[in-house]
Structure 1
Amino acid sequence: MPPIDESTDAGTARAAPVSAPGSRAGTGFDPGADTDCEDTLDLRLSDELIALFAGGTFSRDGTADGTADGAAHRTTVGAVHGARGGSPEETPDADDLLDRVGGWGPARTIAGALHLVPVRAGRDLALVHRWMNDPAVAEFWELAGPEAVVEEHVLRQLDGDGRSVPCIGVLDGTPMSYWEIYRADLDPLARHYPARPHDTGIHLLIGGVADRGRGLGSTLLRAVADHVLDRRPSCARVVAEPDLRNTPSVSAFLSAGFRFSAEVDLPGKRGALMIRDRSLRDLL
């Protein structure tokens, strides 16, 4: 299966992709009342989660195989990758589980402005396919092969209910990374850790070899994690689960202000559960 977290880079050895899809389970946690970073579990399922489980089943990579009638989420992006400084535009459905990722605007970094532009299959598949066939990426994402393999992975998210949004990371006008922003509490990952409502997961793939191994992954991870916390007030934690074997990725998350929480056994890999807490963002 694709890694639940691929490699970024940490300024050391060769870096691989940075993250991939997770698991699901909601809990009765009030983000506004969070004052510490304890990973506790409340077994009360939220009404939102119960409704989602009632509406469909889930595939092994954490995306929806079926959803309730009328729950499909589609996003239209009006941005052109090559247009410098242009903000992505989005026309989401009324129900949006991730607060309209395409309309978040730029995340400011020391490397430039990063826009998360939701993927359009016809426009972006060839680029994502090329990145996935890089041997360093394929080792962890496991999506190498014909374009149909990547197409199935991406369309499963685009045709789902919006709990996972695949995006192209456009840095100062240049598409250079692939991201998946997803509801970790509604993903199969939540079966493997004490999830809290609105936990948001991120998966990152740095596309170009020239952008790896120089600390850029850490810079982007910190910026996007904080962007999630800024744009999703109900989210108290950003989570990731890179493969434990992917040392550059784990190191990148630590450098980006995530803390190591636990080792988790996931389908196809043993992951390092990494968490960036809203309450600790100014300290880490």
Structure 2
Amino acid sequence: MSPTDASAHAVSTPMTGVGTGICSDTSEDGVARGVGRVTDSEDTLDLRLPQELLALLDARGADAGRGGERRAQECRGDGTVLPASRTSTGNDLLDGVGGWGPIPTPAGVFQLVPVRVERDLPLVCRWMNDPAVTEFWELAGPQNVTAAHLRSQLSGDGRSVPCLGVLEGTPMSYWEIYRADLDPLAHHYPIRPHDTGIHLLIGAVTNRGRGLGSTLLRAVADLVLDQRAACTRIVAEPDLRNISSVTAFLRAGFRFSAEVDLPAKRAALVIRDRSLRDLL
């Protein structure tokens, strides 16, 4: 989706259902073509269901047995009602994205601010209707289309958090930080527990093509690694056709791992490893 470095597109487009808590079509054999070309032997670990996912499935089964009780919800001080984004063990699935705070970057002070639909919907909807963004996000249309996409995450179990990227006090990008190991994407590559995914689009045309995509991707990937001690890898799956997006990730210290066939696209699986953080 963005740019860098190379265009007006958005850096890391989501596949249908990825990062939203909505299950995508899993009729494929579960391992995407191209994974055999993974360049890091550690990427070929056996697929295992993380304990947190098993706990979530157990919890859902218990809810069904009680007649589908509504999930508990919590209110912030400003009155916004948010879903309880916790597993049965009481752990925040993404370690409190909203509290990660501002960080310095070469482009200025940057912060991820969780989306509030009533405040942010018009802005995000306008970005989604930009033709350069629509080509890859496929969320063009009236506000109810964007609202449904946002609410599917906000009303979920906390495995995906939609955020505005605020640079020097100005909202200029849209992000989704999500648990890749608990996401439909996990059907398509050898996961590790706590793998964390990133989707990004750069909003204003004036912010594209200036290298902001790679600058912010590197900063946010570092932020995730700093804030999520259990996470050893950041992953993303930009559309292979989106050359500017793939380029932005590679310039941000991600390495190309494989080509994967997802329900809505053929993607480049790119990974930023904690162990290689200071080398790439």
Corresponding residue pairs, total: 246
Alignment-mate amino acid for residue 270 of structure 1:
R
* 2:226 alignment partner, one of 227, 230, 248: 230
Q: Quickly say closer, same or farther: Cα 1:108–1:141, change in 2 above 3 A.
A: same
Does residue 40 of structure 2 align to residue 46 of structure 1? no
Does residue 124 of structure 2 align to residue 155 of structure 1? no
Tell me which structure has the larger Cα radius of gyration: 2
Mean CA deviation greater in 102-111 or 39-48:
39-48
- Residue equivalent to 1:20: 14
What are the Cα deviations for residues 132-166 of structure 1, in whole angstroms up to 9, with x where unaligned?
00000000000000100000000000000000000
- Deviation of the 1:54 alpha carbon: 4.0
Partner SS state of residue 42, structure 2: coil
- Asked if 1 retains the 8 angstrom alpha-carbon contact of 2:85 and 2:93, the reply is no
- For 1:233 and 1:70, the matched residues in 2 are separated by 31
- Asked if 2 retains the 8 angstrom alpha-carbon contact of 1:74 and 1:162, the reply is no
- Residue equivalent to 2:123: 127
- For 1:273 and 1:193, the matched residues in 2 are separated by 9
Alignment-mate amino acid for residue 51 of structure 2:
D
- For 1:121 and 1:77, the matched residues in 2 are separated by 16
- Asked if 1 retains the 8 angstrom alpha-carbon contact of 2:47 and 2:191, the reply is no
What are the Cα deviations for residues 104-137 of structure 1, in whole angstroms up to 9, with x where unaligned?
0112210011110000010001110000000000
- Deviation of the 1:96 alpha carbon: 1.3
- For 2:222 and 2:233, the matched residues in 1 are separated by 10
Superposed, 1:1-284 pairs within 5 Å as 7-20=1-14, 22=18, 38-55=42-59, 76=76, 95-284=91-280
Q: Quickly say closer, same or farther: Cα 1:210–1:108, change in 2 above 3 A.
A: same
- Deviation of the 1:74 alpha carbon: 5.8
What's the TM-score once normalised by structure 2's chain length?
A: 0.81
- For 2:106 and 2:60, the matched residues in 1 are separated by 42
Q: Quickly say closer, same or farther: Cα 1:52–1:92, change in 2 above 3 A.
A: closer
What's the TM-score once normalised by structure 1's chain length?
A: 0.80
- For 1:215 and 1:77, the matched residues in 2 are separated by 37
> Gaps spanning 5+ residues in structure 1: where?
1-6, 25-35, 58-67, 79-90
Partner SS state of residue 156, structure 2: coil
Structure with a larger share of its residues in helix: 2
- For 1:280 and 1:41, the matched residues in 2 are separated by 18
- Deviation of the 1:70 alpha carbon: 6.8
What are the Cα deviations for residues 63-116 of structure 1, in whole angstroms up to 9, with x where unaligned?
xxxxx85756667486xxxxxxxxxxxx97654100000000112210011110
- For 1:252 and 1:231, the matched residues in 2 are separated by 22
Partner SS state of residue 42, structure 1: coil
Mean CA deviation greater in 14-23 or 202-211:
14-23
- For 1:251 and 1:104, the matched residues in 2 are separated by 27
> Gaps spanning 5+ residues in structure 2: where?
24-39, 62-67, 79-83
- For 1:125 and 1:118, the matched residues in 2 are separated by 12
- Asked if 2 retains the 8 angstrom alpha-carbon contact of 1:72 and 1:159, the reply is no
